[in-house]
Amino acid sequence: MVLAGCRSTKQETSNTQKPITTIAFGSCSRQSLPQPLWDDIVAQKPDVWVWLGDNIYGDSENMDTLRAKYSVQKANPVYQQLRQSTPIIGVWDDHDYGVNDGGKEYSKRKESQQVMLDFLDVPADSPLRTQEGAYSMHAYGPKGQRVKVILLDARYFRDPLKKDGKANVPDPSGDMLGETQWKWLENELTNSDADIHIIGSGVQVLPEEHVYEKWANFPTARKRLLDLLSKTKPKGAMLISGDRHMAEVSKVNVPGLPYDLFDITSSGLTHVSAPHEEANRHRIGEIVSKLNYGVITVNWNDKPLTATVKINGDNQATYLTQKITF
């Protein structure tokens, strides 16, 4: 299923389409707070903007409440500038889904999906409107310079979290994606003709130690995802994630993949946690505890192909830079 943007003029995915070089992304935007980063993001002139969840703080089973909060976000005048200049795609995390830490037990997930697709300007006749779950694939550029953005829905089919008090504990029997989405994902990765695969997930995939939401709460599902990448060997794959109210870069070596796998976390656009230390054996560099967004620049002329990832902030600040070689 291909949806390359939010307006009809942006939806070509033909082989004649110009290659894209700049993909910007972010998460955790509380609609009632100041939003100082949009002018910085617009100035990057991204070829696409990717919402990675908590795109609003809805936290309701009332769809009118969710619609009203999305309307506040959408009406932000500088975000409006981004909408006019850049295709916008995205997926949810928990607060815009409708319930904190929620999974498949959330009773209004079907209705909430339609409200989010309205926010993203997804056409009424899009297959995403009739599909269960908000996962999607977006292809850009001609063969030889093609980017696939694969957005995973880690809410709609996710099993309930296992708790010890307030802390999440691993549940090896639980799943994140559901079988339909797993099969879809395998299909998107198998014999893919894309040169770069950006796989977005609301929650972090690689970090294992912290007690908050993460793929590692469901270790069998996390292993299944990494094994699927090992099996399908997509060219130029990287992970992007949000949720954590901080930014960091994590890296693992996946047996069978000829390059290191990175998880680039960018959060949040309007609020962050206080500076703190936190265990993450896969982290490279520092935790960023300032308002931030991510930018991926694909260096098409490099052989082997590389991408430069930056965690940027207000007033053209850059907090982290990571070069990835494929």
Tokens read off for 68: 């009203």
Q: Please give the pLDDT value at position 1.
A: 44
Inter-residue contact 24 to 293 (CB < 8 Å): yes
CA nearest to 1, candidates 148, 114, 120, 167: 148
pTM for the structure as a whole: 0.95
Q: Please give the pLDDT value at position 166.
A: 86
Q: Name which residue leads in pLDDT, 6 or 100.
A: 100
Does 71 have pLDDT greater than 90?
A: yes
Phi-psi region of 117 (alpha: psi -120 to 50; beta: other; left: phi over 0): alpha
Does 68 have pLDDT greater than 70?
A: yes
Q: Please give the pLDDT value at position 216.
A: 98
CA nearest to 49, candidates 31, 27, 33, 69: 27
Output phi, psi for 276, to 5 deg: -160, 165
Measured CA to CA, the distance from residue 113 to residue 132 in angstroms comes to 8
Inter-residue contact 26 to 311 (CB < 8 Å): no
CA nearest to 112, candidates 88, 89, 125, 96: 96
The contacts of residue 100 (CB under 8 Å, 6+ apart) are 59, 94
Model confidence band, residue 167 (pLDDT cutoffs 50, 70, 90): confident
Model confidence band, residue 239 (pLDDT cutoffs 50, 70, 90): very high
Model confidence band, residue 6 (pLDDT cutoffs 50, 70, 90): very low
Q: In the predicted model, what is the mean pLDDT of residues 227-246?
A: 98
Q: Please give the pLDDT value at position 14.
A: 38
Q: Reduce the DSSP state of residue 323 to 3 states and report it.
A: strand
Tokens read off for 63: 């769809």
Q: Give DSSP secondary structure letters for 242-286.
A: --SSSEEEEEEPPTT-SS-EEEEE---SS--PPS-----TTEEEE
Task: Note the pLDDT tens digit of each residue in 78-100.
Answer: 999 999 999 999 999 999 999 99
The contacts of residue 246 (CB under 8 Å, 6+ apart) are 265, 267, 272, 273, 287, 288, 289
Task: Note the pLDDT tens digit of each residue in 15-58.
Answer: 448 999 999 999 999 999 999 999 999 999 999 999 999 999 99
> Computed from CA positions of residues 236, 237, 242, 244, in that sequence, does the dihedral angle turn out positive or negative?
negative
CA nearest to 13, candidates 148, 114, 210, 103: 148
Output phi, psi for 78, to 5 deg: -80, -35
